[in-house]
Amino acid sequence: MPRYIARFASFRANLARVMRGFRSDTRGATAVEFGLVALPFFILVMGIITIGMQYLVAYSLERGIEGASRALRTGEAQKGDLTLGQFRQAVCNAAGVMIACDERLVVHIKSRATFAALTPLTPCLTNGQLTPAEGDMEDGIRTRSGDASTAVVVSACYEWDAGFGLWRVLWNLLSAEQVDRGNPILSATTAFRSEPFE
């Protein structure tokens, strides 16, 4: 029996020595600390990148609407007999490469004699889907924008692919509007009175 006690005492002494070695050995501390903070750090970095991309896409959409609407304001589009499809393409061209010129971009044009008569504005979503633009793409722009000295509102709705699936889910928690597919909707609007070009 004393032999077992001696072995246990020896085992305990060896275990204590190993434990003291672990406590004094700090070679892996940096790796462990990095492992603890890596996931929150990468989530924060990806969040910053995603929000930055959202602002860039929203700015591009606003730039596209402002640039294309200048032709409506001055009467250049009406005098040039632009079609609704050509105006939509002008929005895409002015917006640049951040906006995909496909079914995810819808442009609405509304005109009335006064600004008060322009309300309510066309919503971006109807029953979880992008509200289609009124009129046929081959229709002349005057059918929607009116003639000279008319109050006009031009709005664009864009279904933005927010990137990775995880970010789409997180972003949609903050997004006011989203389509059935789960993508957030970005919008840009401008209102003006067209010049007396005629």
pLDDT of residue 110: 94
pLDDT of residue 33: 84
Residue 35 phi, psi (nearest 5)? -60, -35
The answer to the question of residue 16 being in a domain is no
pLDDT of residue 17: 76
The answer to the question of residue 72 being in a domain is yes
The answer to the question of residue 39 being in a domain is yes
pTM: 0.75
Confidence check: pLDDT of 170 > 70: no
pLDDT of residue 45: 86
The answer to the question of residue 7 being in a domain is no
Q: How many Cβ atoms from other residues are within 10 Å of residue 57's Cβ?
A: 21
Q: Which residue has the tokens 């924008």?
A: 145
pLDDT of residue 52: 86
The answer to the question of residue 133 being in a domain is yes
pLDDT of residue 179: 63
The answer to the question of residue 11 being in a domain is no
Give the count of domains, the chain.
1
The answer to the question of residue 41 being in a domain is yes
Rg for the chain, CA atoms, rounded:
31
Residue 133 sits in which domain range? 29-193
Could you tell me which residues come within 8 angstroms of residue 153 by beta carbon, excluding any fewer than 6 positions away? 109, 110, 111, 118, 121, 189, 190, 191
68-115 tens-digit pLDDT: 999 999 999 999 999 999 999 999 999 999 899 999 999 999 999 999
Angle at 168 between CA 90 and CA 48, to 5 degrees: 85
Distance CA 33, CA 29 (A): 6
Confidence check: pLDDT of 197 > 90: no
pLDDT of residue 94: 95
Distance CA 167, CA 173 (A): 10
Task: Write out the DSSP string of 126-163.
Answer: ETTEEPPPSS-TTSBTHHHH-STT-EEEEEEEEE---S
110-168 tens-digit pLDDT: 999 999 999 888 999 888 889 999 989 999 999 999 989 999 999 999 998 876 566 66
Strand partners, 158: 105, 186
